[in-house]
């Protein structure tokens, strides 16, 4: 929904709105009242020194970790406390590292099991008369899987076991798998960790292409330069709180941000 502000500017509802998020582990406050918005079709970066609370914030958004307080509204729908798979069904999907059992499956099989429709097909398969539909659905899923693998240039490893992929190829597969769930918004936790420069460039190129198509991204990443150079908006966390937010050039010069990094983890 687009409204007009008093000055006549277009005001668009945020894609994701996090308000007052809190999480404490055994007396350690990991997330301490964090609030922020992410706008549709934008790539937003979430940075901060080690232990700042980035991963916990991420995990609370999709309810992988249940927050103690706060709300998460996605596309105008309150998804706070919904099971992670139901949050995914609303279009808010996070990437996961390829789990041990999935490493023993081929890349293509990984794609197939990740598809949202796959679960629905299983229900249809037990209903007589719907088998024809299932076949068509499965063909569509297979086509989507190949197209997505081609988009990431990893179709040549489709029949390899996922466990044999390089670190960079595995990151591309993680993203490709997430896309099979037909998301609107993707949460990426350190998508560039262990990725060589060539694949990093490819991954960035694809992320920008997806953003141009209208996908929204929230990316936790240790490589600050990478976030500053590629995100339109940056959120900085420190000691469980949101320390600064804004355009990269604004955040980069913020004294509080400089102090937070110099004070602890300047080497990152």
- If phi > 0 it is left, if psi is from -120 to 50 it is alpha, else beta; for residue 58 that is alpha
Least separation in angstroms between CB 119 and ligand ATP: 28
Please classify residue 59 by burial: count the beta carbons closer than 10 Å to its beta carbon, then call 0-12 exposed, 13-18 middle and 19+ buried: buried
Place of tokens 């500017």: 9
Contact 201, 108 (CB under 8 A): no
| For ligand ATP, the closer CB: 137 or 174 | 174
| For ligand ATP, the closer CB: 53 or 183 | 53
| For ligand ATP, the closer CB: 45 or 48 | 48
Contact 47, 54 (CB under 8 A): yes
* Measured distance between the N- and C-terminal CA atoms of the chain, rounded to whole angstroms: 40
Least separation in angstroms between CB 240 and ligand ATP: 7
| For ligand ATP, the closer CB: 137 or 190 | 190
| For ligand ATP, the closer CB: 52 or 179 | 52
Q: How many CB atoms lie within 10 A of CB 4?
A: 9
Least separation in angstroms between CB 69 and ligand ATP: 16
Least separation in angstroms between CB 236 and ligand ATP: 11
DSSP 8-class letter at 238: E
Least separation in angstroms between CB 257 and ligand ATP: 14
Interface residue list for ligand ATP (CB under 6 A): 25-26, 28, 30, 48, 50-56
Least separation in angstroms between CB 26 and ligand ATP: 6
Residues in contact with 104: Cβ distance below 8 Å, sequence separation at least 6, in sequence order: 161, 162, 163
| For ligand ATP, the closer CB: 17 or 55 | 55
């Amino acid at each position: 929904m687009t409204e007009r502000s008093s000055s006549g500017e277009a005001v668009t509802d945020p894609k994701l709105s996090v308000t007052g998020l809190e999480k404490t582990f055994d007396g350690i406050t990991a997330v301490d009242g964090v609030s922020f918005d992410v706008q549709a079709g934008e790539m937003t970066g979430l940075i901060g020194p080690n232990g700042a609370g980035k991963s916990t914030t991420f995990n609370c958004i999709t309810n992988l970790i249940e927050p103690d307080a706060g709300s998460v509204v996605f596309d105008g729908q309150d998804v706070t406390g919904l099971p992670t798979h139901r949050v995914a069904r609303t279009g808010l999907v996070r990437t996961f590292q390829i789990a041990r059992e999935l490493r023993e499956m081929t890349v293509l099989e990984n794609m197939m099991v990740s598809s949202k429709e796959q679960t629905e097909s299983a229900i249809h398969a037990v209903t007589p008369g719907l088998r024809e539909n299932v076949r068509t659905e499965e063909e569509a899923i297979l086509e989507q899987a190949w197209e997505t693998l081609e988009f990431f240039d990893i179709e040549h490893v489709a029949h390899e076991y996922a466990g044999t992929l390089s670190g960079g190829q595995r990151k591309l597969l993680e993203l490709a798998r997430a896309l099979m769930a037909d998301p609107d918004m993707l949460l990426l936790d350190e998508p560039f960790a262990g990725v060589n420069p060539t694949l990093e460039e490819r991954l960035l190129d694809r992320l920008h292409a997806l953003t141009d198509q209208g996908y929204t991204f929230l990316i936790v990443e240790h490589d600050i330069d990478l976030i500053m150079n590629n995100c339109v908006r940056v959120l900085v966390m420190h000691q469980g709180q949101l320390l600064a937010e804004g355009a990269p050039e604004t955040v980069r010069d913020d004294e509080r941000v400089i102090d937070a990094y110099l004070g602890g983890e300047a080497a990152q």
